[in-house]
Amino acid sequence: MALNISVKVHPVVLFQIVDAYERRNADSHRVIGTLLGTSDKGVVEVTNCFCVPHKEHADQVEAELNYAMDVYELNRRVNSSESIVGWWATGNEVTNHSSVIHEYYSRECREPVHVTLDTSLAGGRMGLRAYVCVPLGVPNGKQGCMFTPVDVTLTCYEPEIVGLQVCQKTVSGGGRGSSGVAAGSDLAQVMSAASSLESLLEQALQYADGAAAGAPADAEAGRALLQLAHSAPDLAKDTFSDAFASSVKDLLMVVTLAQLIKTQLQLNEKLTLLTSQ
């Protein structure tokens, strides 16, 4: 069993898990579901998931496997590159029932991974962990299997990061009540980035000043700051002002053209409504 498996999870999957947990039936404490994605050379990339209804009793567990197959088929029609790579569960530990479910999933795919998201917030954090099942035991004796933790990291497509950043604003701002965050205009986004850049620069300056005055400083941080200062492209004054002026002129021209077109359209509309046949 190759234990150098690493799991990469997309944010969508985690959103889905949390949502499924919030919508669980009143009598369940745990929710489980299937993980979909691709598996390549020991790297398992999980891009999608869905919830599977199940019930857990004291000594047995029932999961609606037909449901799981149906939803998997439906999903394949939209995205034929995603296949079953494992399963997920909420909670912070692996129970006996997990091995039963894991056995079922090992029939569906070659090397299923098991991901848990700790929605019960044990220890004050929502831990994300992944496991594979490793057989152990004595040959010709009792055999069993053990869940071994593997590395799990987060990976995103470019637009997903953007979406995540917008959602992050709800954490600080609109958390109270039902007020949310509007996806601001482009200019507002650049403005907020500029202000955060300003505060970061302030911090760096303070640190550098403190270090110059004699406070204990880290050599690594000093080297990084030096690299930062040198990474600004060294353009001669004329080159820069030329490039700057031409870019600004281009953009202003395009803006004028766009506004002109809009005005002309509106004028045309008014005239069409006015003229009588």
Nearer to other proteins, 76 or 223 (CB): 76
Quick check: 47 binds other proteins (CB under 8 A)?
Answer: yes
* Rounded Cα distance, 200 and 88, in Å: 39
- Dihedral sign of CA atoms 19, 39, 161, 220 in order: positive
Quick check: 259 binds other proteins (CB under 8 A)?
Answer: yes
Q: Which stretch binds other proteins (CB under 8 A): 107-115, 141-149, 209-217, 269-277?
A: 269-277
Smallest gap from residue 119 Cβ to other proteins (A):
7
Smallest gap from residue 5 Cβ to other proteins (A):
18
Nearer to other proteins, 4 or 277 (CB): 277
Quick check: 237 binds other proteins (CB under 8 A)?
Answer: yes
8 Å CB contact between 98 and 89 = yes
Number of residues that bind other proteins (CB under 8 A): 88
* Rounded Cα distance, 88 and 50, in Å: 9
Nearer to other proteins, 69 or 145 (CB): 69
8 Å CB contact between 137 and 143 = yes
* Rounded Cα distance, 130 and 115, in Å: 4
Task: Give the tokens for residue 28.
Answer: 């369940």
Nearer to other proteins, 137 or 174 (CB): 174
Report the SS3 class of residue 263: helix
CA distance to 253, 261, 262, per residue, from 256 (Å): 5, 9, 10
φ, ψ (nearest 5 deg) of residue 110 = -70, -45
* Rounded Cα distance, 231 and 222, in Å: 14
* Rounded Cα distance, 36 and 24, in Å: 21
Nearer to other proteins, 206 or 268 (CB): 268
Count CA atoms within 13 Å of residue 123 on its CB side.
9
Nearer to other proteins, 81 or 140 (CB): 81
Quick check: 43 binds other proteins (CB under 8 A)?
Answer: no
**Which listed residue (5, 7, 10, 130) binds other proteins by CB under 8 A?**
10
8 Å CB contact between 156 and 11 = yes
**Which listed residue (141, 159, 214, 216) binds other proteins by CB under 8 A?**
159
* Rounded Cα distance, 54 and 24, in Å: 10
Q: Which of residues 170-209 bind other proteins (CB under 8 A)?
A: 170-171, 174-175, 178-183, 185-187, 189-191, 193-194
Binding mask 77-96 for other proteins (x = CB under 8 A): xxx-----------------
Quick check: 162 binds other proteins (CB under 8 A)?
Answer: yes
Q: Which stretch binds other proteins (CB under 8 A): 97-105, 106-114, 116-124, 210-218?
A: 116-124
Q: Which of residues 55-74 bind other proteins (CB under 8 A)?
A: 64, 67, 70-71, 74
